[in-house]
Amino acid sequence: MVAVTVEKLEKVFPPNVYALKDVNVSIKDGEFLVVLGPSGSGKTTFIRCIAGLETPTRGRILFGDVPIVDVEKGVNVPPAKRNVGMVFQNWALYPHMKVFDNIAFPLKIKKVPKEEIKKRVKEVAEALGISELLDRYPRQLSGGQQQRVAIARALVKEPQVLLMDEPFSNLDARLRISAREFVKSLQRKLKVTTILVTHDQHDAYALADRLMIINNGVVQQIGTADEILNNPANVFVAQFFGDPPINILEGEGRGDYVDLGDLKIPVKAPPGRLQVGIRPTDVYIAERPMAPGDVELQPARVVLVEYLGFTPVAVIKWEKSEMRAIAYDKVKEGSIVKVFLRKDNVKLFKDSIRISNIEI
């Protein structure tokens, strides 16, 4: 296994489209990094550059201390010599080959002796619980079984780095959960450095040691799920990561509060135009505050009630301002309710960039 270092990585597609721009990240040996971003953000291009399927326009990629890409020095190690395993979104199994041959294919390409191939295919099949499937064709497998075969094929070559491109997107919701659990337990067992790209934040919650959030080819923030949830670097990160989505409202900083016009948010705020971020879990409907320090806002009208799992979430409105809030009391649409705020968790942004408490 190996650490992966990416320095000043850029990929430009003609005529002048930046898929990646100045990407820098160090991935520890054995770490599970999830690259999270919307469609077209550059996340797949990122792992394709690591795999060698795309040639960067600028920058360096190192496995340990060894450069596999250094554009300035003309270094570009061929994909076959990088020793990476890759699991694609559609799993890319060969339909005319049985499971054994699909898994063994990378070893046959390397001309590994037949007995060694049998040994390694058997070992990886046992580890992934698919030993009884080796004599079947892909069409005879369920989606979850096909996914495990694709992972087995990536692992049989004993890669230094495992790359996974939206590996759960073709699975239904229930199977997706069990697949995440399986992949995480397998990665922990093998301790292989793993990079997974996804647009689904639930994959990130379930799997990541750290997240790298990317948008329009630019890294927005790198950190643990808790760090990014509680200290988003900017409005994009705050809105993209978190479920249900954060409330973002425009207002004027007045020193001891933010004035939204019809609503005052009682937090220290510098003067000027600000954006206020309040997660629905930090504003709630109840008869009384749930914890010391929570403050009561002006009463609001319930516009809509929906459910996040088993938790009711209400859309509440003042004159113009509107938020999603957790409803700890039963509420009806159209009713006027008491609203409380965990003010220590309010996030302020200026020009879409997070303002920390130190800056205020």
| Predicted confidence band of residue 75 (pLDDT cuts 50, 70, 90) | very high
pLDDT value of position 336: 96
Question: What mean pLDDT is predicted for residues 120-142?
Answer: 90
Q: What is the mean pLDDT of residues 224-236?
A: 95
Instruction: Answer yes or no: do 85 and 126 share one domain.
Output: yes
Given 188, 215, 240, the domain boundary residue is 240
> Are residues 322 and 226 both part of a single domain?
no
d(CA 43, CA 9): 12
Mean pLDDT, all residues of the chain: 92
R_g over Cα of the chain: 24
Task: Looking at the structure, tell me whether residues 126 and 220 fall in a common domain.
Answer: yes
- Specify if 302 maps to a domain: yes
Q: Is residue 360 in some structural domain?
A: no
User: For 98, which DSSP code?
Assistant: -
Residue 182 has pLDDT above 90, yes or no: no
Task: Write the CATH number for 96.
Answer: 3.40.50.300
Residues 10 and 123 in one domain: yes
Q: Which of 19, 84, 63, 85 is nearest to 218 (CA)?
A: 19
Q: Is residue 172 part of a domain?
A: yes
> How many helices and strands, by DSSP H and E, does the chain display?
8, 22
Inside any domain, residue 113? yes
| Any domain includes 182 | yes
| 175 shares a domain with 34 | yes
For 284-300, letters b (16+ CB in 10 Å) and e give bbbeeeeeeebeebeeb
- 278 in a structural domain: yes
Residue 299 has pLDDT above 90, yes or no: yes
For residue 48, is it within any domain?
A: yes
Domain of residue 226, residue span = 4-240
> Considering the domain boundaries, does residue 264 fall inside one?
yes
Q: What is the mean predicted confidence (pLDDT) over 90-100?
A: 88
Q: Is the pLDDT of residue 1 over 80?
A: no
Whole-model pTM: value is 0.89
Q: CA–CA distance from 95 to each of 104, 137, 141, 154, 277 (Å)?
A: 14, 7, 11, 17, 50
| pLDDT band at 358; cut points 50, 70, 90 | low
Q: Work out whether strand 295-308 and strand 218-223 pair parallel, antiparallel, or are unpaired.
A: unpaired
Same domain, 215 and 346: no
Distance of alpha carbon 225 from alpha carbon 242, whole angstroms: 9
Q: What is the CATH number of the domain that holds 277?
A: 2.40.50.140
Residue 101: CB atoms within 10 A of its CB come to: 16
Residue 140 to residues 87, 144, 152, 176, Cα–Cα distance (Å): 20, 12, 17, 20
Residues 343 and 306 in one domain: yes
Q: What is the pLDDT of residues 312-336, one digit of tens each?
A: 999 999 999 999 999 988 899 999 9
Of 224, 240, 256, which residue constitutes the final position of a domain? 240
63 shares its domain with 179: yes
On whether both 257 and 325 belong to a single domain, the answer is yes
Q: Quick one: CA dihedral 85, 90, 91, 96, positive or negative?
A: negative
Phi, psi of 192 (to 5 degrees): -90, 135
Using alpha carbons, select from 128, 118, 116 the residue that is nearest to residue 154.
Answer: 128
What backbone torsions phi and psi does residue 264 show, to the nearest 5 degrees?
-110, 130
Identify whether residues 220 and 284 lie together within a single domain: no
Task: Give how many domains the chain has, as a whole number.
Answer: 2
**Local confidence band at 7 (pLDDT 50, 70, 90 cut-offs):** very high
Last-in-domain residue among 240, 274, 293:
240
Burial of residue 112 (CB within 10 Å: 0-12, 13-18, 19+) is middle
At residue 32, what are phi and psi to the nearest 5 degrees?
Answer: -110, 105
Taking phi first (over 0 means left), then psi (-120 to 50 degrees means alpha), and beta for anything else, what does residue 242 get?
A: left
pLDDT of residue 77: 96
- Same domain membership, residue 195 and residue 110: yes
Does the pLDDT value for residue 263 go beyond 90? yes
Q: Does one domain contain both 271 and 346?
A: yes
